[in-house]
Structure 1
Amino acid sequence: MSSPSSHPSPEAEHASWQEIEKRPQFAELLRAKARFVIPATVFFVVYYFALLILVGWYPEVMKKEAFWGMNWAYAFALSQFPMAWILAAIYMKVAAGWDKMAADVIKK
């Protein structure tokens, strides 16, 4: 069992969080995250729903053969897997920078 002194009191934890929240570096961290997360989310949602819209409104186009005997609907649907993987890889790379920024905010 850990000793009571090994954990900060709830008041101390709350006070330190309020202090961190007021720092300009913390505000910059939030802005940096929003600059990536919002456009990436919009891109993902638009890309995802584009398949549904294209299949619904332009079924004849989506039925045409694209390549390897596959039609455009299947090609687009399968393209969503690499798109999600690429987006996740980009997120991981960008988020590593946020981790560094967060560590700097906590240190100060």
Structure 2
Amino acid sequence: MASTHPAGPTPPSESFGVYDRLHATAEFAELRHRYRGFAFPATVAFISWYALYIVMSMWAHDFMSQKVVGNINVALVFGLLQFLTTFVLAWLYARYSAAKLDPLARTLDEQYQREA
């Protein structure tokens, strides 16, 4: 019997059922657990670090205005470290994702493609 749907992607209404089945799997729960295991602590750490920078800038003026080298003071070093922290977190996430998230996500995608 011929398919009633044209070739191409599965219509959205049908793919919801597949997604619901995949969402209920242990693999999907593990993927969410692994993602949250990295994202939440990293977010809390970065926001705390940034808040420390703001608090120190507001209420520890004497400390933050101390010269480190030439006209470079502690506040400027803290500010530049914010950029470094952003890049380091992005790099760590990319490594973590490639090692822990992507293989599991590929497995789930293959299941989705088979069922859709």
Using structure 1 for the length normalisation, give the TM-score.
0.89
Equivalent pair of 1:21/1:27 in contact (CA under 8 Å): yes
| Letter in structure 1 aligned against 2:71 | G
- Superposition pairs for residues 1-40 of structure 1, below 5 Å? 4-40=6-42
CA distance in 1, matches of 2:70, 2:97: 37
Write the distance in 2 (CA, Å) between the matches of 1:106 and 1:55. Answer: 47
Q: In 2, distance between residues paired with 1:69 and 1:10?
A: 60
Q: Which segments of 5 or more consecutive residues in structure 2 lack a partner in the other structure? A: 112-116
How far has the Cα of 1:4 moved from its partner? 2.1
Asked if 1:103 is matched to 2:106, the reply is yes
2:74 counterpart of 1:67: no
More helix by share: 1
Runs of 4+ more than 6 Å apart: none
Q: Which residue of 1 aligns with 2:50?
A: 48
Q: CA deviation at 1:11?
A: 3.0
User: Which residue identity lines up with residue 63 of structure 1 in the other structure?
Assistant: S
Considering Cα pairs closer than 8 Å and 6+ residues apart, tell me whether 1 or 2 has the greater RCO. Answer: 2
**TM-score computed with the length of structure 2 as normaliser:** 0.83
Unaligned runs of 5+ in 1: none
Q: Letter of the 2:107 partner, please give it.
A: D
Give the paired residue count.
106
